[in-house]
Chain A
Amino acid sequence: MIRDELKRGIMVQNPIFGLALGLCPALAITTTAFNALGMGIAVIFVLTCSNVTVSLIRRWIPEKVRIPCYITIIATFVTIADLFMKAYAPFLSSQLGIYVPLIAANCLILARAEAYASKSNLVRAAVDGIVMGFGFSLSLVLISAVREILGYNKLFGVTVITGFHPMVLFVMPAGGFFVVAAFFGIVNYRRIKKARGNP
């Protein structure tokens, strides 16, 4: 079961490359792998906690006000994550800046609350939060690793090839689009090929 769930989070329904959710942070903060990892951990925390809470109180939430309730729950956990980061990892917090509070507006988290957690029991919602968050983090780290290597000639702040002159374009927004597009291309190429292979 865990294996299937992990496969679903990372491959089949990968939040970024599969569902195309949460693309704003995927482009904005993936300039270094360290930032991406920090962001990924924050998203795993928020996603898991909000999924669990939504699943717990799903029976008492009236249909009409469910979205405001979800947003409030998500924003609460985002605020906690933001405060925690400011208190214990001020450097990371200053690097991520506005994008930590903006997790509250990340459509991935709201989509999981609305589409999954509000219809599932506690355990399933928690597992969904973890695997989806993990898939998201993995995608962020992959994108940022490519961008950091090409744009800074570094990985996690450490030089990769001495003497190689980096292509600064890749840490600029335009380079981010190129890298994300390349990943989308690879993922979709595989998907289309698979679909044609087994009609």
Chain B
Amino acid sequence: MNDTFKAVLTLTAVTAAAGFVIAFYHSSAAKLIASQTLRHERSALDQVFGPGVRIIDTSGSGSPPIHFWIGKKDTAVIGYAFLIETAGYSGPIRAVAGIDTGGTIMGLVILSHNETPAVGGRMDERISKRTIWNGFITRAETLRPWFTEQFKGLSVNKPLSVGAVSEWPCLSDAEKKELIDKNAISAISGATVSSRAIVRGIGKAANCFAALRGARQ
């Protein structure tokens, strides 16, 4: 009896102490974590809209089918950014897609994904000229993600499709032009599912955009 009582008491004391420590640390870390998520979203929005744009969050006002932000320069609306949540190859992909008032895609930034490394995971890959031999001494370069960049300038008024024989950086100028004319993107090789998932996500954003524009007119 005494042994059992001692065991229960010890375990209670240890778990209580553990709970107290975690609660104490969590109270200070929670604020930081929330601000990190917000900062991540904010930087994606800045990339989509470009500099000098006032961004208005629409969450909480009415009930939009998907979360979106309005970008305003002075008083004129220049575009909308939609939060895309789409089912990828292994789990959800979250991204922000910016669409200007005319229906042209202003930019696409991937927020998070769980795609297979080196296959679908290349959706936010950036091509760098750095190598291990000069990489640590050369000055910083602006890296552009090749996959999401090809969405820029395409239209959401026409259906967007996946159609290509090779990856974007390997295509010739004529092939690139042909793709743009067809309003299509080239998939990541080996990751057609992930590429299609993003196109589908943009489709959802396009529907939302059409509804928004319909409401304004």
Taking Cβ atoms with an 8 Å cutoff, the residues of A that contact B are 31-32, 57, 60-62, 64-65, 68-69, 72-73, 75-76, 79-80, 83-84, 86-88, 90, 94, 97, 151-152, 155, 158-162, 166, 168, 171-172
Contact = CB atoms under 8 A, between A and B. Distances in A.
Given A60-B10, A87-B29, A160-B131, A73 B3 contact: no
A39 to B, nearest CB: 15
B118 interface: yes
A85 to B, nearest CB: 10
Contact of A159 (B25, B37, B132): B132
Interface of B: 3, 6-7, 10-11, 14-15, 18, 21-22, 25-26, 29, 32-33, 36-37, 40, 112, 114, 116-119, 128, 130-132, 135-136, 190
A80 B26 CA distance: 8
A80 B22 contact: yes
Main secondary structure of the interface of A (DSSP, over half): helix
B132 A83 contact: no
A87 to B, nearest CB: 4
Interface centre among B3, B14, B29 (most CB of A within 10 A): B14
B117 A88 contact: no
Q: Which 7 A-B pairs have the closest CB atoms?
A: A87-B32, A158-B135, A76-B18, A83-B29, A65-B7, A159-B131, A171-B118
Contact of A69 (B11, B40, B136): B11
Given A60-B10, A65-B10, A76 B22 contact: yes
A158 B118 contact: no
A159 B117 contact: no
Given A64-B7, A97-B114, A171-B117, A158 B132 contact: yes
Contact of A161 (B40, B128, B130, B131): B131
A90 B36 CA distance: 7
A152 B132 CA distance: 13
21 contacts: A60-B10, A61-B10, A62-B6, A65-B10, A72-B15, A76-B21, A76-B22, A80-B21, A83-B33, A87-B33, A90-B36, A90-B40, A151-B118, A155-B132, A158-B128, A158-B136, A159-B130, A159-B131, A159-B132, A168-B190, A172-B118
